[in-house]
Structure 1
Amino acid sequence: MKRRLVSGIASWSAAALLMAGCNMGGGGDAEPKLKALGKDEKATIKVMSTWDERMFNQQYGLLFYAKHPNIEIQVATTQGAITYGPDTDVNAEFEKFIEEHNPDVLMLTPDLYERMVEKGKLYELESVIKQDKFDLAGIMPGVLDTIKTYSGGKLYGLAPNFNSQALFYNKTLFERHGVPLPKDEMSWEELLELARRFPTTGDDSSRVYGFSLGNLDSVFRFAMMIGSTKGLSFADPDTLTMTMNTDGWKKAAQLALDSYKSNAIYRPNPNQQFRGGSMEEYYKQEPFIGGKVAMMLSGTYYMESLKQAKTALKDDAPQWDLVTIPVDPNNPEGSPSSFNIGQIFAINSQSPNLRAAWEFVKYINDAEYARVMSKSSSMTGSVTTRSEYFQDPEGRNVEAFYKIKGNSAAYNRSMAKLPQTFMSQLYPHAELEFKEVMEGKKSVDDAIQAIQERGQTELTKAKQAKDQPK
């Protein structure tokens, strides 16, 4: 990758220097400089967006126009332009879209961002960041580190928002049952021990459960979560080989299964779904908000639900706080974080409108934009990457969302190498295997062996299909 980066940078840097009107004087300083737009100078930029024009303008465009009325934005939406199928190479389709539409600003997923950097397609930002004295200090270090991980240690893009997970807990339930409060960087064993300290007696309508996986309820997914925390890999993405039949995975699976068997983990009943009623009734039947669950894994988006619940329930709303997701106590810094950057904004290295494109990228990543957007609800559940404007008015521990640095970029990159249909084919089979273990029909060892074999069959099929001439 390093060799490709060097050759890519060499190929476009000369062109960028010419387009930017670089001043080569000053002791041989060859860093590209972007000339500022004149007071009345107008410009038009095209922005590639995975959202439609209305949603894009609502999130970014309208605020940018107010600040930069002389810069017009044309939205090149990928919606409807890319057909998704089981064999679609999504990144190749996006690259084709970029070649056809030649946008100035690109909204990229991290893996597409990495691919574009490798090919020398993106404008390197560090020199213009330095030139404009753009404040990077206010952006969470984990965000910048994650972006740099995808691009050889340099910045070719910035991300205004991120998503993450944390462990929400109901303080009232902990105090009522005399259970010590959770803390940051617990192990899975510590979390589940707390969960088991809540009483497991009583009928389903009245009892309290210690822990919920939220929308991720699944024994196999839970085992996968525990295993990844402990640094285990279930497949080698480079050789397309399953690596799950190990003692480490068996222990992770056993911990997940024992936790479900202990009846400390809440499982939603499909026959008791909310069928309609007032907002107060809706929130009261929601497991965590209604006081049925003491701890729950959920994302940044859930804070908005809790905020709305307080408006509807008033004094009946739960008293809650946050701690980090569990880590491997032997390697807390190496545990994968739940930190996720969905979109990175970058500039096309071939853009004839580099300054105007940079003004857009700069604005949606600066403190002013973060301050304004922190006052409104995000359409995507994401939150600002500027920590100054990601605060809880009641002093809750929102740092839990970004405290664990981990190495999520490396994990996500390895997952992206696996065939797109692989996981969707493996999960249902693996869940059935774990169901048989729960019912006492099969041992953990036999279930892991069966998942290993089924997974290898699917990976081999994918490899053969990939190797076939087209």
Structure 2
Amino acid sequence: MPETVLTVYSQFEDQVFYRYYGNLILQQFPNVSFNLIQSQAATPEEAAKDVMTYKPDLVMTWKSNFQELSKQGMLSDLTPFMKSGTLKEEDYYPEMIRGLKNEDNQLIGLSPLVNVYGVFYNKSLFDAKHIAYPSDRMSWEEILQLAKRFSGSGATGLMGRSPTGVLRDIVKAKGLTIIDKQNDTLQFNQTDWTAALRTVLELKPDQVQKGSEELFLQGKSAMYVGMLHMIPKLEQQAFNWGVVTTPVDGNARDYINDIFFNDIIGIPKEAVNKEIAWEILQYIMSDDAVAYLQRNSNTGAVSTLMNRMNQQYGSVDLSAFWQQTIDDRPYLGRHVSSAFVDQFDGMMDTVLTEAAANNKSAEASLKEIEARGQLIYQAERSSAATEGTNETEEERQ
């Protein structure tokens, strides 16, 4: 059989690609070799242009890039391939299947592993203070009330999130958008933003801090927001522990933000080697590949195969995580770039630090966020407009 050169577009350097996927594929497909293109795209739009230029056979990417490729209709519908292959939708995590379909209900991507954040808690510290353990689907307000009860105990209430991180998570959980597309400006929900800011500004350093997993493992924090790779480490500790789902919006407890697919794999419509690309994708998603993929995951990711999702961590029951619906609403709104989000988050961190140092109110802090946010957004719009004037007539069409 002649060798097939498969073009793969991904975020991976060559060595990393081979460690995670390439060596596994070559063991099963010895007549395949790779033309690897490492993405240098700074934005989803740039990634889409790359795919248009390089015409890869396989794309391995993350959520924001995948959504842009979906929006531009650049990925093949995998359903016809599945009908003639061995993969069945019903064998996989329903939220993966639902989340990777386009607006026409076509399945245009697959992901072999799902990444999960949870709230780990030290039962021994809770028992010592006679405090009830956290439970699944608690709101941020409820989790923070638990964290506050450890003030003065010598242990931090909650680690793994800075105050800015908590604010961001509350905003995400409530689905608060700030883009007024019609007027091309920012619009803040005064009531919800003020309440979220007040919640965060009331926190003390021994109640919530970024902290590291090592400090939690040393028993210096009652709770820690982290990924599932914590489980094997905790099994070696002397204290009793548990894990629950991450906090949610109290008015929408069935939705969760902290489950995501790190590597989403699709076949572009203009791929030359679609059939072999599908055979490889089908193998990556198979039961035979699971052990290899999990062994190479540094996040403790879980297979998206339903019959595997509660097996990886033995006695640790993860079923509550799989019962929630992944909240697909984008942070801050659909019409902002990743660069804007990064700048906005950095600005919020500055405002919160200044507010804590100067005892500013939530109302005053929101006014500062609004003013500084408008400047960031105006700069982004001006930059976009300038780039637009530099396009050729052919690019505009």
Aligned residue type for 1:192: L
Q: Return the alpha-carbon distance in structure 2 between the equivalents of residues 155 and 368 of structure 1.
A: 22
Instruction: Specify the SS of the correspondent of 1:332.
Output: coil
Choose which of 185, 188, 213 in structure 2 pairs with 1:241: 185
Per-residue Cα deviation, 1:55-111 (whole angstroms, up to 9, x for no partner): 212212222222333x403132215xx375xxxxx3343334334433211113333
1:116 aligns with 2:32: no
Matches within 5 A, 1:93-104: 93-104=46-57
Q: Return the alpha-carbon distance in structure 2 between the equivalents of residues 302 and 240 of structure 1.
A: 43
Aligned residue type for 1:74: F
Choose which of 241, 244, 258 in structure 2 pairs with 1:320: 241
Give the TM-score, by structure 2 length: 0.86
Residues 188, 327 of structure 1: 8 Å contact kept:
yes
Choose which of 264, 271, 276 in structure 1 pairs with 2:207: 264
Q: Relative to 1, partners in 2 of residues 1:302 and 1:237: Cα closer, same or farther, differing over 3 Å?
A: farther
Choose which of 161, 171, 186 in structure 1 pairs with 2:138: 186
Matched with 2:269 is 349
Matched with 1:197 is 149
1:389 aligns with 2:336: no
Matched with 1:411 is 330
Structure 2 residue runs without a partner (length 5+): 391-397
Q: Return the alpha-carbon distance in structure 2 between the equivalents of residues 209 and 96 of structure 1.
A: 46
User: Residue 380 of structure 1: CA displacement?
Assistant: 5.6
Q: Return the alpha-carbon distance in structure 1 between the equivalents of residues 6 and 226 of structure 2.
A: 37
Instruction: Specify the SS of the correspondent of 2:216.
Output: coil
Choose which of 172, 185, 189 in structure 2 pairs with 1:228: 172
Residues 138, 386 of structure 1: 8 Å contact kept:
yes
Matches within 5 A, 1:38-49: 43-49=4-10
Give the TM-score, by structure 1 length: 0.74
Report the count of equivalent residues: 387
Residues 228, 336 of structure 1: 8 Å contact kept:
no
Choose which of 220, 227, 232 in structure 2 pairs with 1:299: 227
Aligned residue type for 1:351: A
% of aligned pairs identical? Answer: 24
Residues 336, 407 of structure 1: 8 Å contact kept:
yes
Residues 322, 400 of structure 1: 8 Å contact kept:
no
Matched with 1:106 is 59
Instruction: Specify the SS of the correspondent of 1:168.
Output: strand
1:454 aligns with 2:382: no
Matches within 5 A, 1:20-35: none
Q: Return the alpha-carbon distance in structure 1 between the equivalents of residues 83 and 49 of structure 2.
A: 32
Aligned residue type for 2:282: K
Per-residue Cα deviation, 1:398-425 (whole angstroms, up to 9, x for no partner): 33544421422x325x656313432333
Q: State the Cα RMSD in Å.
A: 2.8
Matched with 2:395 is none
User: Residue 251 of structure 1: CA displacement?
Assistant: 0.8
**Structure 1 segments of 4+ aligned residues over 6 angstroms from their partners:** none
Instruction: Specify the SS of the correspondent of 1:184.
Output: coil
Q: Return the alpha-carbon distance in structure 2 between the equivalents of residues 41 and 58 of structure 1.
A: 25
Matched with 2:355 is 437
Q: Return the alpha-carbon distance in structure 2 between the equivalents of residues 287 and 250 of structure 1.
A: 32
1:211 aligns with 2:121: no
Per-residue Cα deviation, 1:323-357 (whole angstroms, up to 9, x for no partner): 11112232223x45212223221112233322211
Instruction: Specify the SS of the correspondent of 1:164.
Output: strand
Matched with 2:385 is 467
User: Residue 183 of structure 1: CA displacement?
Assistant: 0.9
Residues 211, 296 of structure 1: 8 Å contact kept:
yes
Residues 246, 256 of structure 2: 8 Å contact kept:
no
Q: Return the alpha-carbon distance in structure 1 between the equivalents of residues 41 and 81 of structure 2.
A: 36
